[in-house]
Amino acid sequence: MNDFLFELPLPEDFSLTACLEYMNRSPLECLFRTDESGVTRMFKLEDGPVLIRLSVSAGNRLSVTRLHGTAPGVLEHEWLARYITEWFDLDRDLTPFYRLAEADPLLQPLVSQHRGLRIIGIPDLFEALCWAILGQQVNLAFAYRLKQRLTEVYGDSLEWGDQTYYRFPGPEVFTKVQIEDLCALQLTRSKAQTILTVASLIASGELSREELLALPSPEAAEQRLLQIRGIGPWTSQYVRMRCLRDSSSYPVGDVGLQNVIKFLTGMDRKPTSAELLVLARPWHGWEAYATFYLWRALY
């Protein structure tokens, strides 16, 4: 069953191929499956799970097709369209970023090679926070392994063909989960506690993406996140970038960013936070996109 649902217009500077290359960076990714021409992901709608595939149509539009599961209604069509738009940052004009990147010696080769790559967002706040928490002070492969374990144990799943598709668990799932349960998946106690704290705040309505976006500035949203024990500057900056769609977010504490700047500039040490801030002055307002493209040089 291939049930065409709708199409979304694509901005001029968009390459699904470049986005898929980024999304395919780890074989441990458990929340979607990519191939040469598209990506397939499970969503949970009011009447049940649905398996959605995205690909580019002959008319250079993003085609959204239902492969399996419940048929979405009108409002769910709107929700899916909004989610996909935010997932691929489709409504952002990258012309100013590409203009400044073309004049930047570090960014120019990267934007030339990967033009059309968009920041792949994480529209769900709980998922974004969990991914950032899991990634604290560990390598990327282990962070993916932790996400895979958390998703397989607590998330929803759907069987189709010879594959199992997963959806990241919602915060309400963790209301009766104990720290020891998460530690059994190899999370540290501090990470387990932070995830349970965040789950409780979101499930109770004390914290929401809508609340953060309604604050006067991204910096105010960051300060709100920093009030949560276990959420530090790197985590909050990461959430600003991937979930709150803040193009000025700049995670200077990110080891990957430090390593790629060291490599590209030929430094004999990692740059300091102060040096990274100076380096980013020409990127004002587009620090998140500069970071995302610099990360691309790591794989």
For 94-146, write each residue's pLDDT tens digit: 999 999 999 999 999 999 999 999 999 999 999 999 999 999 988 999 999 99
List the chain pLDDT tens, one digit each, 299 residues. Answer: 689 999 999 999 999 999 999 999 999 999 999 999 999 999 999 889 999 999 999 888 999 999 999 889 999 999 999 999 999 999 999 999 999 999 999 999 999 999 999 999 999 999 999 999 999 988 999 999 999 999 999 999 999 989 999 999 999 999 999 999 999 999 999 999 999 999 999 999 999 999 999 999 999 999 999 999 999 999 999 999 999 999 999 999 999 999 999 999 999 999 999 999 999 999 999 999 999 999 999 88
Percent of the residues in the chain that have a pLDDT greater than 90, as a whole number = 92
**Contact indicator for 5, 78 with CB cutoff of 8 Å:** no
Identify the CATH assignment for 3-90 out of 1.20.120.330, 3.40.250.10, 1.10.357.10, 3.30.310.20.
3.30.310.20
Consecutive H or E run containing 64: strand 61-69
Which CATH number does 92-117+246-299 carry? 1.10.1670.40
Condensed to tens digits (0 to 9), the pLDDT of residues 244-263 reads: 999 999 999 999 999 999 99
**Contact indicator for 100, 140 with CB cutoff of 8 Å:** no
Instruction: Note the helical H segments in 92-230.
Output: 95-102, 108-114, 125-134, 140-154, 179-183, 189-203, 209-214, 218-226
**Contact indicator for 45, 15 with CB cutoff of 8 Å:** no
- Distance separating alpha carbons of residues 258 and 235, to the nearest angstrom: 16
Helix pair 125-134, 233-242: axis angle to 10 deg: 140
Residues labelled catalytic? 254
Q: What residues does each domain of the chain span?
A: 3-90, 92-117+246-299, 125-242
Identify the CATH assignment for 125-242 out of 1.10.340.30, 2.120.10.30, 1.10.357.10, 3.55.50.30.
1.10.340.30
pTM for this one? 0.95
Residues in the chain: 299
